[in-house]
Amino acid sequence: NAGVTQTPKFRILKIGQSMTLQCTQDMNHNYMYWYRQDPGMGLKLIYYSVGAGITDKGEVPNGYNVSRSTTEDFPLRLELAAPSQTSVYFCASSTLGLAGVNEQFFGPGTRLTVL
Amino acid sequence: KNQVEQSPQSLIILEGKNCTLQCNYTVSPFSNLRWYKQDTGRGPVSLTIMTFSENTKSNGRYTATLDADTKQSSLHITASQLSDSASYICVVTSNTNAGKSTFGDGTTLTVKP
């Protein structure tokens, strides 16, 4: 099993450009999450999904969009990149919600810089 | 507002020594507390998950404790190794919303030879 995979690993965007961060998991997990991690700070939840076709906002959703057409894939879309979106983005998945005792698995991250 | 505070912010120890990291939280109602290890440039990896009724849980040289009354947790690392150098993150989940947890800012541990 590859676990949670993310592409690309690194990306530099110009202000106003758009891009999609890809996330795929092969563990048949229902729950998937997108976080951002700014230097020296804790992870902040952007969006999450409890299953195919269902998504919901997290703490910091502004400027982002998601979709969940399949169990495996949970792409994150940035429509108009801004310098404030410079961060490391992590995708994660779990069988059940985090209120349950089940492990959450993280991808390796995408480092995004907006200039 | 739900908060998770970790201390110290950073710590340097010599290889072979023990250390303890602290986590205080105000998340309520409480569901569980997780400790993650995050190596530089990588995603977090789960170390332990503790529920309200659990006081202690071990994973090899890592032992987490939980005092739900005082809302404190600690992560004790025994006989540290160079590979323990990482950021350790405390995460507390409320049972009001299964999809959201509160992450601490982490403690950066450096183990020197």
pLDDT for B97 beyond 80: no
A43 and B103 within 8 Å at the Cβ level: the answer is yes
pLDDT for B57 beyond 90: yes
How large a percentage of chain B has pLDDT more than 90?
Answer: 83
pLDDT in tens, A26-68: 999 999 999 999 988 889 999 999 999 999 999 999 999 999 9
Count Cβ–Cβ pairs < 8 Å, chain A vs chain B.
67
CB atoms within 10 A of CB A81: 22
A41 and B31 within 8 Å at the Cβ level: the answer is no
Q: SS3 for B36-77, per residue?
A: EEECCCCCCEEEEEEECCCCEEEECCEEEEEECCCCEEEEEE
The DSSP letter of residue A73 is B
CA atoms of A38 and B79, how far apart (whole Å): 31
| Residue in B42, B46, B105 closest to A104 by CB | B46
pLDDT for B99 beyond 90: no
